[in-house]
Structure 1
């Protein structure tokens, strides 16, 4: 996570307070304080790219990191351009429960909302 000049690389992904609180609660349930929320973009889905959100303890070469009130959010160097300006939130309604991603870089998405291009 350190760039050549010795500083830590950062990214433009935002995590809402609601999402940060949910991540903290999930980490507390797991009894782990060494994990970060990793957000990645991978090939797949009906529109070409899919999001992946998962907890990760690894530090990969070129990772970009931001802290949101004690919640570390990591993005790999290949995914940073696709996620610049994206906002991660958490919805807990009768219609939907889970993390949501509002990404201004997504030109189009599929009907299910799981993939984008």
Structure 2
């Protein structure tokens, strides 16, 4: 069995974050434009923003102690050990519409967010 988003249980449960096919394709496109194949998509939660916590979503070449990783069709998503409880069950998507463009995070753990939508609690 391969480590993909299709193998539901052991793989996705490594950190609980899922990546839609649309988001995976966008990540691959961005990495291709950069000419890099050594980067991972890191998702983290850090203190900040109006509501107390903010998302960090960026490319990272590092793999740190405690990082949890899941491969989604060639896109490795990593989450640090401290962020896992805040992100368990979160889904990352990519929107490209008239009203929205960019990566979105649908997080069932977020009890609420601020008016600007950049932070949560």
The 2-side partners of 1:36 and 1:113 are apart by 25
Report how many residues are paired.
110
The 1-side partners of 2:52 and 2:106 are apart by 17
Look up the match of 2:7: none
- 3-state SS of paired residue (1:82): helix
The 2-side partners of 1:29 and 1:112 are apart by 30
TM-score normalized by structure 1? 0.92
Instruction: Please list the CA deviations of residues 3-39 of structure 1 after superposition, one character each: whole Å capped at 9, or x if unmatched.
Output: xxxxx99211000000000000000000000000000
Look up the match of 2:16: 12
Structure 1 runs of 4+ with >2 Å offset = none
Look up the match of 1:116: 120
TM-score normalized by structure 2? 0.89
Structure 1 spans left out of the alignment, 5+ residues = 1-7
- 3-state SS of paired residue (1:18): helix
- 3-state SS of paired residue (2:78): strand
